[in-house]
Structures are given as structure tokens and as C-alpha cells.
Chains A and B, each alone.
Chain A
């Protein structure tokens, strides 16, 4: 039995942060119904990357909304709203990512929903929390990265600010929403009480930086300094970083510099005392760079791995996704589209009771489950 079987989630969310939370809950066994506006449905349906579509929806939308149901309702219409409230009365969890103040206008704010269903776990994702000067700013991943200081951690010393090339604030706030909802459900199991759970992209982006922020808050607010070249972490000493070899690259983790220097025959680094590995990081890395460039990646891996020096090849997607190690994970899954076609995506990363968790259905079309849901819940 999947852990969340029997639980009903209503998702009033768009794009990535909220829907990625619904996806995780679905994979863990919950039944997730997207409540969408009639006609176009949620905004993510037409948001594509590389212009890829499968059926009427973007591949991106299928990726984030597989294994969910879709029910359309116009929340401004009294009759539709009544039906939605009937569903709310039966739900265990409700999630939304409207901007602050919006959902209250439909009578679906937490206080009103609690009247209908006191045991509900009510989850909210915003960009920057619900009050203050940022409350009405668009809660968008790149903007949150830019404002949170995150862009000064990646890339090299002389680079401009470098964002993480992935919607990391969206993904983490969705993951934190799941954590909060699950904690609320655990509490409900003991007390029968519901909860309001709130997360924001900004708080999640700050939490992501908790280690380096703690360092900054206690070292007199020193600015992060990226290494001049091959930077992989502004706060870690040499040799931590990525180095070019004669035919590619190699990643080196936190290692004893002298052992590494001896192993690869890089004499000049042996003279640096341990306390200089951070302060003289750029010179040290320059010496290492010269040595690594002389031989191939496989040469260095052959030398370093048996000595248990932590290192790895640097793969791109074709190299990684065709590797034996990736195939062993059995991480791929096929998703059936309504028209008989299938697309391929990845599965839930969590294994429960020794089993991998697979989904099966691509995302629903707009309102695909209106009839079945109406008859099941007598709407």
C-alpha cells in the first residue's frame, strides 16, 4: 500500500511550485484533483520548453501533472463554486498558489474553508509571503534567485551573477509544501485538527542557503568569494572544483591537497600548508589545472579512484542517461496519453518498502474528469 492511499488532494495551483507538490503527493498514493478554469485550464498547459507539445499540452505540463485528475469550475460562478465547496468538504488537503488576497474573494480562504472542513490541511505557496512590499511581486523563480543572493555563489570570480540553471526555488518550495502538508496530516492523525501550511519561494531559496548564510551571519558578513576558475563552492578550499583534462573534465571533491598533489605529480601544491588551502585557493587550483590538462579524464580516474580520492567524470545528458548506472535505477517511466501515444518521463525518487513507485497516466485534458467526479461526489 502506498503511504498516502485514500487521501484526497484538491490542487488550485499553476505552473511548477504548487503542482510539483501535488505530483509528489500523487506518487506517494494520494488522489489529486486539479481544479482548473474552464476553457484554457491552468497556465502551465501552454508553457513549453523547446516548443515541445504532446497532444494539446506542453510536455512540461505532462511532466508536472501526470497521474492527476482535472475538474473545471468557474469560481466566479455561484453554482460552480457550490460544487467546489462540496468537494472541499470531502478533501483531506487543499493547495493553492494564488497571489495573496485572491482566493479569499471566492470564499475559499483558510478561515472559510475551515468552516466547511475543520480537519483540512490547507497549503499555500506564495512568492515572498503574504505581507509587506514584496507580497504583490510576481513569484517567479529567476527573480527570487536574483533577490535572494543565490546568484553570487555559482560561476567563477570574474563572472557576472550566475543563476542556478534550473527552477530551484520553485522545486524546493514545492518540496517544502509537501513536508508541511505531511506534518499536518501526521498531527491530524493524532488530534483530528487541521492546519494551515504556508511556504514561499523566497523562504525556500533562503533555506537552500542555510549553511552559507549561517557562515555569513557569524563571520562578520563577509561576502562570498568564488574561486577564479573552476569554482564549485565559494566557501570550500582547494582542491574542490572542476578541472579540464586533455579530453574533457574531472570533478574533485574535498580532498587532502597533498595526497592529491602526490598522486597526480603536481609538486608545486605540496608546499602549501593546510591553512592556506582556502586563502591561496586560486594559485593552488592554477597549479592543479596545469597538471590535470596533461592527461585524459580516464587516466586520472584510473589513478585516483583506487586511492579512494573522491573524483568523478563530468557527463552531459547523453553520456549520463545512456550509462549503465542510470539504467540500473530504472528511473524512466512511460506515460499514456489519451490518444494512445506515450511520452517518456522520470519516476518519483523515493522508494517505499523496497519498491520503486511508478505512475502511468499523462496529464489530464482540461475537465477530463468532470463527469466522473460529479457523479462520484453527487455534485
Chain B
């Protein structure tokens, strides 16, 4: 299969997760991605270990984020290296970075400078908090942005303090938005030949993620989000929406009529809530009744009653449980990738399918500078004279 972004060249100066997750998506869609890394350490993510897992000398997160890319080492303050990087840029379709505001200007690879050399470049940049404003030089870090944007008051139940979402959700969304903006500009370039500048920030992406609830806040008189007392799954949605303990584990219940549930589950107390508005206003009470009742039976028992009645419910699965399911196997979501030195590891694939086929890419992550020489030979005119 021809991947859709074949013959697109991306020069990626970014590190950590937000930028590199965007270039990973473009790599999986067929683009060639060259990571520009500093000598010695490279992308800091290479030794950002989580739960002390080390894979072939580097962190598991680095391997997850940077597979299917090439690594080119350059000291952006060294004249000879800079001129080589410029020669790469001349051939690139996309340049991207996630330095704090002002850094790329100081290094001289900012949009205006790049545009002079390559007028039709699509240039993507990620900042923490946008190019201006009182927070612009704050560190753009996921947990901090979650904490500043109200996101930590949406998960968990109301007797808890703030509960962050337990993944770098803002980084991931920001990278997703950057990839969208870059690809939209590549569509335009295909139509009229123009390049473009794409700017996203973690702060704006975190606001966009909450577009439904922030819009609600604007139109409900400005109340803080209120989580339900127990079994909360969405601060703005009424009962039964939540996760409930059963005799055998946990189950999730989405929307549904409370009296109807009362009948199906043989829980007469729920018949008292005939008014739909009560399902939100009295959700703590209703969820309490449901929680007591569902604890008396197994998940299987309840699903066997509710699923045939087309009530939206599911068993709560751990990864171990999930990976035993036929439905999971059919998705074919896990792939094995291999590094240049032969080290292989398992990871997930791109979530987007094209023309009926999932996209697999068997190339693992690059060792630092692994492709420097080959790229030099391929792209750099004065390479031989200079070295």
C-alpha cells in the first residue's frame, strides 16, 4: 500500500512527548521524519524512565514515541553543523519544534528565517502557554497545564481533592492538534503551493479538550464543576453515568432511564425517580442506591439483564483482561518493531486505518545519531569537503 504521506520530509527539532507524538503520527502515515538531536544526550526523553523500565539502554516512552524515525545529530550553535541543518531544511516539507518561545529565534531557525530559505515550508510549533501572556515562560509540562486549566476537578468523586487524568493527556492532544494543523497546510500547499505557519499550545489544547464543559460554564452562570459524591465519571452528567462495584469486579453504566433500570434490575427504590431532571439533581442519592444494589450481584448477572435490553453498559477491564478478549485480538493493535541493532520490542500501532487496512510500521526507534552519516551523504552537498 502507498501510505498517504509518502515523499513528505519532516525535520523535527522537538523533544519529550507533545511534538514527537505529532511526528510519529506523520511517520506512520508515510512521512519520513528526521529527528534533529543534540550531541551527547539527544532528546531528553531518551532517559526519561518510567517505573524504572530500561529497554536497550533507553526509556520505554522514548521507544514508544520515536519508532519509525531517523536520528541526526547536530550542535545548533556550531557553524558547520548549522549549515548542514540548513541544507536539510532546503529539502524539507515540514519543520517543527517545541522550544519555549524565543529559543528558535535565538538559534536562527524560526519561521521567518526558514521561510526565506524555503518559502513553501509548513512550519509547526508548540509552546506551553502561547507566544504571549503572563505564563509564556512557564514550563510547558502536562501535569502543570492540567492543574492550571481546571481539568483536575472533573475526575474522581467529590470527597477527593483534585484528581489529574493519569496520562499526559495535554501533551497528546497538543501533538494531535499540531499534526492536524500541519496536514491541513499540506493540503493547502497541494492546492495553491503556499506554505504556512501552524502554532499550537498546551494551554489552548487543554481548553479545547474541555470545550463542552467550558461552554457550559459560560452559559450556566459560571459555576465550578461539581463531581458527584460517589461513582463519578463526568461532573456534568446525571445518574446512572459511572462505574459501580459488583460482587465480581466493576461495571460501567452510561446513560439510561432510572425507573427503567429500576424495573430491569429489580430495584424498586429507583422507581421513585420518574422526573428526568431528578437524574441530575439527585444523582448522589440515585447513584448510592444503584451502588448498593449492584454490589449484590456479579457483573455477568447484571450485563446479562441489561445488554439484551439495550442498556449501555460494560465490564471494567484491566489490560490483562482486555488482552484475553477476542475483540481485542481482532483489532490487531499490537505490533513488533525492530531497531537497527536488532533489538525488537512490542508497541501499539497507528490508530487510523486506510483503505481497509491498519497501518503497521516495523522500524524501531533510532539510536542517537544513528542516521547522521547516511543523511549527510544523501543530502549534504559540501559534506565531504567539510569533514
Contact = CB atoms under 8 A, between A and B. Distances in A.
Given A199-B351, A213-B347, A242-B152, A143 B313 contact: yes
Contacts of B154: 164-166
B347 A214 contact: yes
Nearest to A275: B52
Interface string A63-101: 110000000000000000000000000000000000000
Contacts of B384: none
Contact of A149 (B252, B317, B356): B317
Given A3-B185, A207-B348, A155 B156 contact: yes
B8 A166 contact: no
Contacts of B163: 154-155, 162, 165
Interface in B208-262: 208-220, 222-225, 227, 232-237, 241-243, 245, 250-252, 254-255
B7 to A, nearest CB: 8
B133 A325 contact: yes
A178 B118 CA distance: 27
Contact of B215 (A6, A312, A329, A343): A343
B64 interface: yes
Contacts of B315: 146-147
Contact of B65 (A6, A204, A211, A331): A211
A152 B318 contact: yes
Interface stretch (B33-41, B74-82, B192-200): B192-200
Nearest to A205: B351
Given A49-B236, A185-B187, A278-B52, A345 B218 contact: yes
Nearest to B352: A180
B234 A195 contact: no
B299 to A, nearest CB: 11
Contacts of A202: 327, 331
A50 to B, nearest CB: 6
B375 interface: no
Contacts of A249: 147, 161-162
A168 interface: yes
Nearest to A310: B139
Contacts of B331: 128-129, 132, 200, 202-203, 206
B85 interface: no
Interface in A331-346: 331-332, 343-346
B180 interface: yes
Interface stretch (A31-39, A216-224, A262-270): A216-224
B169 A215 contact: no
A124 to B, nearest CB: 9
A171 B172 CA distance: 12
A315 B150 contact: yes
Contact of B64 (A161, A190, A210): A210
Interface residues of A, number: 153
Contact of A251 (B17, B60, B144, B326): B144
Contacts of A165: 154-156, 163, 165, 227, 232-235
Of A49, A183, A202, A222, most B-chain CB atoms within 10 Å: A183
Contact of A175 (B180, B217, B236, B333): B180
Contact of A167 (B198, B234, B251): B234
Nearest to A7: B187
A328 to B, nearest CB: 3
Interface in B58-75: 60-61, 63-65
Contacts of B19: none
A345 B215 contact: yes
Contact of B146 (A63, A160, A251): A251
A215 B233 contact: no
A315 B149 contact: yes
A208 interface: yes
A316 B4 contact: no
Contacts of B216: 49-50, 52, 59-60
A329 B187 contact: no
Given A211-B17, A325-B134, A182 B141 contact: no
Contacts of B199: 350-351, 354
Contacts of A148: 317, 322
Nearest to B245: A160
Contacts of B109: none
B204 A349 contact: yes
Given A183-B29, A253-B141, 9 more contacts: A64-B212, A155-B155, A155-B156, A168-B169, A183-B4, A235-B50, A253-B143, A254-B141, A346-B207
20 contacts: A29-B184, A137-B314, A149-B317, A179-B29, A180-B352, A198-B352, A216-B319, A232-B146, A232-B164, A233-B167, A251-B143, A253-B141, A312-B138, A314-B147, A314-B152, A314-B162, A321-B217, A329-B203, A329-B207, A350-B177
